[in-house]
């Protein structure tokens, strides 16, 4: 009785090598896609964090600067020349030199308001010191962290318009245009610029 020979079929070595090469190419493409995808997501996360921090910083600056010139006795003594030396007016009939409501220099603003309601103004301010925004409250303290955010510009541009009351008496309505520019520390490609107009709530009375 003749023996039946079984025929076993399969892949040749060449076919296996071609298949392996195709698989490696597809795997490399998949890895490359995930690398790009993860980097895009990481950059997006850093951009969101940068904008959130800058927005929080600008909101804090805006809220505090709006208080410029506040004092507790304004409702009783507005227009009284005895208060000129305290600096609540820009012009005084007595000739006294008032304390400025705010002083702006490059990358810095200094101002005052009566925060503890004792009738005398306290000094506050903001400035850019290197890559950090600092806040003046008795002494300069960091408001931001250089390890996360690099602030490159901090500019303040004032505008003043007068509203006549009677005779030479008028109010000065003041606004400040504040601009912040920054990038994520270690990655200059992730940068933002925020601009806000701050309306100082306490109009300045000029007799």
Per-residue pLDDT reduced to its tens digit, 168-197:
777 778 899 999 999 999 889 999 999 999
| pLDDT computed for residue 171 by the predictor | 78
Higher pLDDT, 170 or 120: 170
Closest CA to 88 of 67, 105, 74: 74
How distant, in Å, are the alpha carbons of 50, 114, 132, 142 from that of 184?
6, 36, 12, 17
SS3 66: coil
**How many other β-carbons are positioned within 10 Å of the β-carbon of residue 47?**
17
How far, in whole angstroms, is CA 125 from its chain's centroid? 15
| pLDDT computed for residue 176 by the predictor | 93
Q: What angle do CA 195, 160, 126 make, to 5 degrees?
A: 50
SS3 137: strand
Q: Which helix (H) or strand (E) holds 58?
A: helix 13-65
- List beta partners, residue 157: 177
> What is the overall mean pLDDT for the chain?
79
| pLDDT computed for residue 78 by the predictor | 56
Q: Which helix (H) or strand (E) holds 169?
A: strand 169-184
Per-residue pLDDT reduced to its tens digit, 23-69:
778 877 777 776 776 667 777 888 899 999 999 999 999 999 998 87
């Amino acid at each position: 009785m003749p023996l039946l020979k079984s025929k076993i079929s399969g892949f040749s070595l060449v076919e296996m090598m071609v298949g392996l090469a195709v698989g490696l190419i597809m795997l490399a493409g998949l890895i490359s896609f995930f690398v790009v995808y993860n980097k895009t997501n990481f950059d997006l996360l850093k951009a969101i964090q940068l904008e959130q921090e800058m927005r929080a910083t600008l909101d804090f600056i805006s809220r505090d600067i709006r208080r410029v010139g506040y004092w507790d006795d304004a409702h009783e003594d507005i227009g009284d020349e005895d208060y000129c030396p305290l600096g609540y007016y820009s012009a005084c009939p007595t000739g006294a030199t008032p304390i400025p409501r705010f002083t702006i220099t490059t990358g810095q603003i200094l101002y005052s308001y009566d925060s503890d309601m004792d009738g005398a103004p306290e000094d506050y301010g903001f400035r850019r010191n290197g890559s950090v925004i600092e806040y003046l409250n008795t002494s300069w303290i960091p408001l931001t962290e250089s390890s996360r955010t690099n602030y490159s510009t901090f500019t303040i541009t004032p505008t003043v318009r007068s509203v006549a009351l009677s005779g030479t008496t008028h109010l000065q309505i003041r606004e400040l245009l504040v601009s912040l520019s920054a990038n994520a520390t270690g990655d200059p490609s992730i940068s933002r610029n925020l601009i806000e107009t701050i309306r100082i709530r306490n109009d300045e009375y000029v007799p």
